[in-house]
């Protein structure tokens, strides 16, 4: 059941709970026509659905709501519903009352990796945060994941005016196309210049770019990521370095702007405000009014990023209104939360990981050359085999809140995933290698030891399948994703290393 406060009702609500972002936009006569967040209510009086999760054990779903009117999401309800299994975010509800919910994005110009060509859904556990000390979960999107609504109502069309903001993880990005939130084609196909107007975040340089090496907040206007008036460098569009970032794009006839800020402190800066690009097709615009998250307008799904909250508005918000929204976001006090649970791992220690599936409890995570596998190991095994089954725990190469596993017998080589197989490869120092080699242990899904979750693909865990290691996704499309025996195959007892 959705609830949306009338503007008149806000006087009473505001005396109890501070105005939310959408109350502020309404006060500025630019009301939200879509409001999405898995972390909090975006209206002071909102008590309705925030998001839906689906669990792997039985396919059941539940809806997560705020703890109180205008409050933070009830993360404990998710933790309880998803205990001992996997959970995906299936729907991100629209809080505006217009029904502009975001669901699994369908195939378009590009198909997704899920069954029937749909994009993948995000894990419900990839992006834990706290807001004013209360735990909540964002939407951690790996390449191949995407959400959309191709039949949204009230969104801008043609050259119509609109605004939008999103709060994102400033450290989770890549150069793929295109981590977007905003207005796109209703067909999920590229229908030409000016058919989109969405926030983009990342380091893609195929079209425009900002100062330094990125990542940048830009605008995806279709067939171009724009940092300013042309698809080239705008040195006033800075590289983002904050953990949480507020990203803003807004447009009206022959005028548009990009703004941004640290979402945890300070105020917005304007990175561009001015005329539309002079290239044919962008003035006037031909917006279509679908809503996308994590993908390009044609369902290009190679990008990654994390979304916490965002809205789209009717009309062109004033800078003053947006500045008040930024103050509200800062007051929400986004902060990082632990990515791990279960038995603790100690950086610098040597560990061995024992299989818990009943078939194979004498087998340990090991390697043969670059293949990561399981092998039978005991105290009487050869020194060579003991070393193959021993791993030095390192701080996560991409995120020090998680871990990487360095080979005991091949120092400098780490367990990493590639095409969803686990390999032992030398650290090449690249961003991709670091991300592929970072894993976040959590309480074992079968109640034993740890399940070792991929940081960059948090729907996926260390999984042995025919004694070979993959990052498996519960019930996914690969044979090694098989739901049968999943919880056991992804649960490992971590002990002192054999070597």
CA distance 70 to 172: 27
Nearer to ligand AHR, 187 or 495 (CB): 187
Given the residues 222, 309, 481, 488, the one annotated as active site: 222
Nearer to ligand AHR, 41 or 285 (CB): 285
Question: Strand pairing partners for 352?
Answer: 495
**Minimal distance in Å, beta carbon 198 to ligand AHR?**
8
Contacting residues toward ligand AHR, per CB under 6 A: 177-178, 190, 220, 222-225, 296-298, 300
CA–CA distances in Å: residue 267 to residues 39, 245, 259, 260, 420:
21, 11, 10, 8, 41
**Minimal distance in Å, beta carbon 146 to ligand AHR?**
11
Extended beta strands in 391-444, E state? 391-395, 403-407, 413-418, 421-426, 439-443
**Minimal distance in Å, beta carbon 314 to ligand AHR?**
23
**Minimal distance in Å, beta carbon 179 to ligand AHR?**
10
Q: What are phi and psi of 402, to 5 degrees?
A: -120, -160
**Minimal distance in Å, beta carbon 309 to ligand AHR?**
22
Residue 298 annotated among the catalytic residues of the structure: yes
Given the residues 94, 185, 237, 298, the one annotated as active site: 298
The answer to whether 217 and 229 have CB atoms below 8 angstroms apart is no
Per DSSP bridges, beta strands 421-426 and 413-418 are antiparallel
The answer to whether 316 and 163 have CB atoms below 8 angstroms apart is yes
**Minimal distance in Å, beta carbon 187 to ligand AHR?**
11
**Minimal distance in Å, beta carbon 446 to ligand AHR?**
41
The answer to whether 112 and 119 have CB atoms below 8 angstroms apart is yes
CA distance 484 to 494: 23
Chain residue whose CB lies nearest ligand AHR: 296
Query: In this structure, how many other beta carbons lie within 10 angstroms of the beta carbon of residue 115?
Result: 9
Nearer to ligand AHR, 114 or 185 (CB): 185
The answer to whether 316 and 30 have CB atoms below 8 angstroms apart is yes
CA distance 104 to 171: 24
Q: How far is CA 104 from the centre of its chain?
A: 14
CA distance 232 to 225: 9
**Minimal distance in Å, beta carbon 444 to ligand AHR?**
40
The answer to whether 328 and 20 have CB atoms below 8 angstroms apart is yes
Residues 6+ away with beta carbon under 8 Å from 392: 348, 349, 350, 405, 406, 407, 408, 411, 497
Residues 6+ away with beta carbon under 8 Å from 129: 39, 135, 136, 137, 138, 308, 334, 335, 336, 337
- Catalytically active residues are 222, 298
């Amino acid at each position: 059941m959705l609830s949306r406060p009338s503007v008149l009702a806000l006087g009473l609500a505001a005396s109890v709970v501070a105005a939310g972002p959408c109350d502020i936009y309404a006060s500025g006569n630019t009301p939200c026509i879509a409001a999405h967040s898995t972390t909090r209510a975006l209206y002071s009086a909102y008590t309705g659905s925030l998001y839906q999760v689906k669990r792997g054990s039985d396919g059941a779903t539940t809806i997560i709501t705020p703890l109180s009117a205008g409050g933070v999401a009830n993360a404990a309800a998710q933790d309880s519903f998803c205990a001992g299994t996997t959970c995906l975010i299936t729907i991100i509800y629209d809080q505006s009352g217009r029904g502009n919910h975001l669901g699994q994005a369908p195939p378009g110009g590009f198909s997704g990796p899920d069954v029937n060509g749909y994009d993948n859904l995000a894990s419900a556990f990839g992006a834990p945060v706290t807001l004013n000390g209360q735990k909540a979960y964002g939407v951690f999107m790996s390449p191949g994941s995407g959400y959309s609504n191709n039949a949204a109502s009230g969104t801008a069309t043609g050259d119509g005016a609109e605004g939008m903001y999103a709060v994102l993880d400033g450290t989770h990005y890549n150069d793929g196309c295109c981590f977007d939130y905003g207005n796109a084609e209703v067909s999920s196909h590229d229908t030409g210049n000016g058919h989109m107007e969405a926030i983009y975040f990342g380091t893609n340089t195929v079209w425009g770019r900002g100062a330094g090496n990125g990542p940048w907040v830009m605008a995806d206007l279709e067939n171009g990521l724009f940092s300013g008036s042309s698809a080239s460098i705008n040195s006033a569009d800075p590289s983002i370095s904050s953990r949480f970032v507020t990203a803003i794009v807004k447009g009206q006839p022959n005028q548009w702007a990009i703004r941004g800020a640290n979402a945890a402190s300070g105020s917005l800066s304007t990175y561009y405000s001015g005329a539309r690009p002079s290239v044919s097709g962008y003035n006037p615009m031909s917006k279509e009014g679908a809503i996308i998250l994590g993908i390009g307008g044609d369902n290009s799904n190679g990008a990654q990023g994390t979304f916490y909250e965002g809205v789209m508005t009717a009309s062109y918000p004033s800078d003053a209104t947006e500045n008040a929204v930024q103050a509200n976001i800062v007051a929400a006090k986004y902060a990082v939360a632990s990515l791990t649970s279960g038995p603790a791992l100690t950086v610098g220690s040597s560990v061995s990981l024992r299989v818990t599936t009943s078939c194979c409890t004498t087998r340990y995570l090991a390697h043969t050359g670059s293949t990561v596998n399981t092998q039978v190991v005991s105290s009487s095994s050869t020194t060579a085999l003991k070393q193959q089954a021993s791993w030095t725990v390192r701080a996560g190469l991409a995120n020090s809140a998680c871990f990487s596993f360095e080979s005991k017998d091949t120092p400098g080589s780490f367990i990493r995933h590639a095409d969803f197989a686990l390999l032992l490869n030398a650290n090449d120092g690249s961003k991709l290698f670091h991300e592929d080699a970072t894993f976040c242990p959590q309480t074992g899904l079968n109640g034993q030891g740890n399940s070792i979750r991929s940081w960059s693909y948090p729907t996926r865990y260390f999984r042995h399948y025919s004694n070979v290691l993959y990052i498996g996704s519960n019930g996914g499309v690969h044979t090694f994703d098989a739901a049968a025996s999943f919880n056991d195959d992804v649960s490992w007892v971590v002990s002192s290393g054999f070597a």
